[in-house]
Amino acid sequence: MKITGFTSLLETSYGKTAVSANSLLSGLRIKHEDNWYLVGDACKNLGRNPHRIVNATPEEIDYKVLFLSALLMSTDHYSEKINLTLGFPFSTYNMYKPLAERFLQKKNFTIEYDSSVYKRDGIVEKKLIDIENFDIIPELAACVIGLKREYKVNENNFLMISLGFGTTEIGIVTD
């Protein structure tokens, strides 16, 4: 499993930001509806007022822009259909799950991004990403699954602590 992380900050972007970064990850600028957004390190390095709403709903622009950015980063070398798992903190899980299901019913997402931020001859490019299947689970459960799969943790009983952007969840994992 390859993990690519980026800072979950964004900012509306106006004007050109030509060759200001050295890769898509550090120069992420995507379009959502009629607006352009700097995301992640590009936002930290080039932006003036980076922000993120804590625990945004799937109906909010912040969530959609960060979701599209994550999709783009996760399919950097792939063009096939993907299987997606989303997580929400337990405090918002029951409320946000139906909203996310409605958002993901679209299944096909076209992401428009500006490669001139990190390429000398860059242009506005588009990538179509098809989501074949998706699951929505609580974040704490996702942490346990990831820990057991990626790091092969074989302890039967342990304490799991998930520190999120605005939430902290603790659970006892037993066999």
pLDDT(14) > 90: no
pLDDT tens digits, 115-128: 888 888 888 899 99
Residue type, 129: I
Pick left, alpha or beta for residue 83 (phi over 0 → left; psi -120 to 50 → alpha; otherwise beta): beta
Predicted local distance difference test score (pLDDT) of residue 149: 81
Q: What stretch of H or E contains 46?
A: helix 41-46
Specify whether the CB–CB gap between 167 and 55 falls below 8 A.
yes
Q: Where residue 175 falls among pLDDT bands split at 50, 70, 90?
A: confident
Output the pTM of the full model: 0.85
pLDDT tens digits, 45-59: 777 888 778 888 999
pLDDT tens digits, 133-164: 999 999 899 888 888 888 777 778 888 888 87
Q: Where residue 43 falls among pLDDT bands split at 50, 70, 90?
A: confident
Predicted local distance difference test score (pLDDT) of residue 6: 76
Mean pLDDT within 69-91:
82
